Amino acid sequence: MSVTEMFGYIQGFLDADQETREDIRKVVQILEQTAREILTVLQSVHQPSGFKEIPNKCAKARELFCTVRTHIADLKTKFPMEQYYRFHEHWRFVLQRSVFLAAFVVYLESEALVTREEVAKILGIEVVRERGFHLDVEDYLAGVLIMASELSRLAVNSVTAGDYNRPLRISNFINELDSGFRLLNLKNDPLRKRYDGLKYDVKKIEEVVYDLSIRGLAKESESGGGK
Amino acid sequence: MSVTEMFGYIQGFLDADQETREDIRKVVQILEQTAREILTVLQSVHQPSGFKEIPNKCAKARELFCTVRTHIADLKTKFPMEQYYRFHEHWRFVLQRSVFLAAFVVYLESEALVTREEVAKILGIEVVRERGFHLDVEDYLAGVLIMASELSRLAVNSVTAGDYNRPLRISNFINELDSGFRLLNLKNDPLRKRYDGLKYDVKKIEEVVYDLSIRGLAKESESGGGK
Amino acid sequence: MSVTEMFGYIQGFLDADQETREDIRKVVQILEQTAREILTVLQSVHQPSGFKEIPNKCAKARELFCTVRTHIADLKTKFPMEQYYRFHEHWRFVLQRSVFLAAFVVYLESEALVTREEVAKILGIEVVRERGFHLDVEDYLAGVLIMASELSRLAVNSVTAGDYNRPLRISNFINELDSGFRLLNLKNDPLRKRYDGLKYDVKKIEEVVYDLSIRGLAKESESGGGK
Amino acid sequence: MSVTEMFGYIQGFLDADQETREDIRKVVQILEQTAREILTVLQSVHQPSGFKEIPNKCAKARELFCTVRTHIADLKTKFPMEQYYRFHEHWRFVLQRSVFLAAFVVYLESEALVTREEVAKILGIEVVRERGFHLDVEDYLAGVLIMASELSRLAVNSVTAGDYNRPLRISNFINELDSGFRLLNLKNDPLRKRYDGLKYDVKKIEEVVYDLSIRGLAKESESGGGK
């Protein structure tokens, strides 16, 4: 085989590869669009009037997750599964955003931390790596940390909406989350950097609780909530 | 034709080009001066006493926009219109600043988002690209994002001036703007980066509203507004 | 019109734009492939045996320029011509490479500097900016400078091929070119930087001529050529 | 399951992962050591006296490739094969170096370009991605480009060793390789950058051949070869 023939043959490989990447990129763009739509639905919970609508908004978001699952099912057909990590970077960003959105919906519904298994189910993907398109622990944790930042915002806006109890519950939740992360031995990687941001969220929420406490609003609310 | 003749001829081209750029730069400098004057007029709205004068200040700014239109009319004569994008970078900055100023005036007057058509009219330029000196969508959006940042400042200063209702209205407006931007599929470009700054404006305004709420000032104002 | 409607409308603009860029990119890729093919044809002139084949190789390259013209004709259909400078960066690189290839062919054929008019004709584009898809002076000069570097290589390989006269002719040509560039008042731009590289080409060729002179090969050849 | 339990469980995953990476790193270090040993063996070909020993040195290198195969066999046991691309970065560097070494041995033996299939066999890995630990096209090409740089060095040292014919053969080989690479449509990636270095190797080798030619040493050798 001549060098020319060899390189012609190699170009065939490179072309096929380029096509696969193009296909993946297209589906990922559509996925990002759907993720932005879910975010827009959930953003209304920050509005004073939006608090009562949380159940409706969560239901609407859950519907949109059907679309997410459809797009991910489509994405799976674009490459051979043993090359998951070869193309991982293409969908990593949107996958972490989707974990955040799923975790936020579950929090709004039940004020509990979504498990990796639950997120995987919501996104229609696997937990176990060997089974194919799955949710890596790192991507799950990254999504949870994005939610922590959103919750610090929600604590602020709860006060605005006159709900003085929610910030206390968010504070408890975030503290538990922070304890959880402190159990982890994170290496000096992107996740480590992101985790460093959690302390600012913790601090912000503590300030909200402090403001409520100093004005006697936290207690008021607690006793009020117990009536 | 000898090489020397050829290059002499080419230098003629380069000289003409250089002259065009110099001409454009001069008009752009004058435009920037006028833009700074408009900003100075509008800055007074951040003053406690300036709130009542908003209509006056807007009227004054509108007058100065006549000067802007004159300068832009002058700018149009400095280069052939099919080279708009060749020299775009020269006036891009001042154009975006002017969009911001026009959007800010319109917001102050009506608390509504200026359309691209309205801005183009205020600046005396086209909306449709094919018609000549026009306002690109990207420049319009960039100007609107500069205004969002100005509005977060206005929210803070409204409180100082004792206007507790304006921050709430700004908050609603900015949230609507944020939802709008979330619909856009912005590529990884300068606009994308600028949009990332919007969330800080949103957050800042939410904190202002939070401060008002926790002191019972937001409600006061709301009920006050209802009288 | 609501903000949501406005932004939906704007997204339509951005989508159309994205599509145009995608279309341009595809044609540019094909153009680059053709340019590489022409280069491969012309590279053989550096081979000892390739010197005799220069006329054949130039003829073959000229044929491939038909394909270049077809692709550029296709490129022209992908965007409105008054936006030439809006998308200029997409094809600038391949356009300069094509100028180099055309200039190299003309040099090999006639040992003369191709004019901007001739290059434009070879590429099937305009010289006059107002007429549409054209060849800017800057892109023409950039292509000529790439050729200068190729000629310094050709001077070296001419010696290898036993042609001791060609390096002297290349030397004269490059000196004339250098004089031409010295007439230009280049601003501190990419072209200026590229021009700074010309002095290395001049120096390299001078060294070849020196090596020939000190061994009496230059004179031999000159008197030999005059017989 | 409490948050603490969840994060304890997650830490288990992270620990297992960390262990896998540590295991891979250890084997890769050993592989790098063996690669350095092979390089040391082959470096002697650059010595004036080393030219005669090329067959011996190649045989010795081939023996050391047995060790390479053993280490790679060991590496394969350290992680599940569907995670090849998850850990690819760990061994990419040493794999490309090994390709270079295999390609260099084959060149020294036969003055031919090793195929991807041959390299894979020498390294004891697969060509077909689906079969497991394999040699990607990109890694093969990267290794070949490292060899090109080594060959430009060999051309220089051949002259020193009095072998005036080898540089001419290297020159032909490198030109063929360069033509091959020009067929490829390389994206703007690490490989593209590396390929840009090839032109310096081509130029360097041409200068060596030039030096031989101008001193009449190339012809001597050529006529010598014809005896």
In order along chain D (227 residues), what is the average pLDDT of each group of 10 residues?
Answer: 91 93 97 97 90 93 98 97 94 98 98 97 94 94 97 95 94 95 87 93 95 83 40
| Cβ neighbours, 10 Å, residue D213 | 24
**Contacts with A79 (C-beta within 8 Å, 6 or more apart), sequence order:** A20, A23, A24, A86, A87
What lies within 8 Å, CB to CB, of D19 at 6+ separation is none
In which residue ranges of chain D is CATH 1.20.58.190 found?
1-135
Does A88 lie at the interface with D, CB-CB under 8 angstroms?
yes
Q: How many CB atoms lie within 10 A of CB B36?
A: 13
| CA distance to A148, B24, C211, C219, D213, per residue, from B204 (Å) | 18, 38, 73, 81, 74
Could you tell me which of C178, A160, D44 has the C-alpha nearest to residue B212?
Answer: A160
Start-end of CATH 1.20.58.200 domains in chain C: 147-227
Question: Alpha helices of C111-165 — where are they, by DSSP H?
Answer: 116-123, 137-160
Is the CB of D176 less than 8 angstroms away from the CB of A3?
yes
Q: Which CATH superfamily is domain C147-227 in?
A: Translin; domain 2 (1.20.58.200)
Q: Which residues pair with D134 in a beta bridge?
A: D126
Between chains, do B213 and A160 touch, taking CB under 8 Å as contact? yes
Structure-block tokens of residue A163: 């709900």
**Using the beta-carbon criterion (under 8 Å), do C156 and D185 form an inter-chain contact?**
no
Q: How far off is chain D from A216, nearest CA to CA, in Å?
A: 30
Contact D170, D151 (CB under 8 A): yes
Question: Are C4 and B183 inside 8 Å of each other by CB?
Answer: yes
The SS3 call for residue A134 is strand
Dihedral angle sign, alpha carbons of residues C187, C189, C195, C197: positive
- Chain A residues whose CB is inside 8 A of the B212 CB are 160
Chains B and D touch (3+ CB pairs under 8 A): no
Task: Output the CA–CA distances (angstroms, integers) from residue A158 to A40, A150, A176, in the order listed.
Answer: 18, 12, 20
| pLDDT tens sequence for chain B (227 residues) | 789 999 999 999 999 999 999 999 999 999 999 999 999 999 999 998 878 899 999 999 999 999 999 999 999 999 999 999 999 999 999 999 999 999 999 999 999 999 999 999 999 999 998 888 999 999 999 999 999 999 999 999 999 999 999 999 999 999 999 999 999 988 868 899 999 999 999 999 999 999 999 998 876 544 433 33
ipTM of the complex, rounded to two decimals: 0.88
Q: Which residues pair with B134 in a beta bridge?
A: B126
Is D150 annotated as a binding-site member? yes
Fold adopted by B1-135: Methane Monooxygenase Hydroxylase; Chain G, domain 1 (1.20.58)
Burial C26-52 (b: 16+ CB within 10 A, else e): ebbebbbbbbbbbbbbbbbbbebebbe
Whether B185 and A29 lie within 8 Å, measured CB to CB: yes
When scoring B14, B106, B118 by the number of chain C Cβ atoms within 10 A, the one with the most, hence best to mutate, is B14
pLDDT band at A220 (very low <50, low <70, confident <90, very high): low
Enter the tokens of residue C74: 């296709």
Please indicate whether, in this complex, the C-beta atoms of C7 and B88 are within 8 angstroms of each other.
Answer: no
Report chain C residues whose CB lies below 8 A from the CB of B82.
81-82, 84, 129-130
